Amino acid sequence: MKVKPLADRVIVKLEKSEAKTASGIIIPDTAQEKTQIGVVTEVGPGTEKEKITVKVGEKVMHDKYAGTQLKIDGDEYLILKMSDIIAIVEK
């Protein structure tokens, strides 16, 4: 299935990020209260008020509860507004 975002929307593929406590307990990403990181897979054309400033392939940071969840071919994605993206993550 191919999904193309409209207006100022961006599709982000979620990265799994499990954290481990000092005692070895694994905390899944669903239980963590922090920002999330994903990779931009599709971008909309933008609007006059909200320009798209990220490109396909860039890693971005967004709030945990932002956007609309979407499952495509078994992978987890989010459809975010451009304003929901907090930062671009560089290596």
| Regions in the chain scoring below 70 on pLDDT | 17-21, 27-33
* Domain that residue 31 falls in: 9-89
CA distances from 65 to 30, 44, 69 (A): 10, 21, 10
What confidence score (pLDDT) does residue 33 get?
60
73 close to 3: Cβ distance less than 8 angstroms: no
Q: What is the pLDDT of residue 91?
A: 78
**pTM value?**
0.81
In a domain, 45, yes or no: yes
Residue 80 lies in a domain: yes
So what's the pLDDT on residue 28?
66
Query: What local confidence, expressed as pLDDT, does residue 17 receive?
Result: 62
Total domains in the chain come to 1
